[in-house]
Amino acid sequence: MASKPMFRHAGELSWQDFPKLAARLRERLASEQLNSSQRQKAFSVFVEVTYNVLHYAKPARREAGSSEQARQVFAEIALGMEGSAVWIQAANLVTTRQAADLEERLATLRALSSEQARALYRDQLTRGEGGSRSADSKGGGLGLLTVAREACRPLDYTIFPTASGDAAWFRLKVFI
């Protein structure tokens, strides 16, 4: 049975919105009965998940000549508790090409234990590699690996095409 989120954002989101969203989450986490490690991990995973949404979600709209900072995406990001675990969930649209890349990457990460994910993360940092990066990657490719490293359960995700077929809905739920 899914629990009700203690924190939720649904609607358009941009890089300018992120600091306020993060501050709201910090306040909410401070008011919950979580130990400092849980609060830190929950915030860290929230940041990684939100950054991935902001980088890779299909734009809701974008003004001609606008910067990446002005890019608007539609997303739902939520955080809640289930038993002693904190969960973070995000849902957004991605291009069909990104959906295929995500499916491949997440299938690999879902098969890793948290110990294996931590070892792979350390190995890739030591080698100076960001992991497998798609052509769309804006960073080092460590975002989803960081999320998998913190997860206490296998990553839960779904990807399904929209009716128009030009995009796909992507949902990721992480338990930490």
Three-state secondary structure readout of the chain? CCCCCCEEEEEEECCCCHHHHHHHHHHHHHCCCCCHHHHHHHHHHHHHHHHHHHHHCCEEECCCCCCHHHCEEEEEEEEEEECCEEEEEEEEEEEHHHHHHHHHHHHHHHCCCHHHHHHHHHHHHHHCCCCCCCCCCCCCCCHHHHHHHHCCCCCEEEEEECCCCCEEEEEEEEEC
**What pLDDT does residue 139 have?**
46
* Run means of pLDDT, 10 residues per run, the chain, 176 residues: 84 94 95 92 95 89 58 94 94 94 91 87 77 49 84 93 92 96
**What pLDDT does residue 20 have?**
96
**What pLDDT does residue 4 have?**
86
Residue in this structure with the two tokens 């008011």, named with its chain if needed: 31
CA distance 69 to 54: 9
Cβ neighbors of 68 (< 8 A, separation 6 or more) are 15
Tell me the chain's radius of gyration from C-alpha atoms. Answer: 16
At the topology level of CATH, where does 7-106+159-175 sit? Answer: Heat Shock Protein 90 (3.30.565)
Neighbours of 2 (CB within 10 A): 9
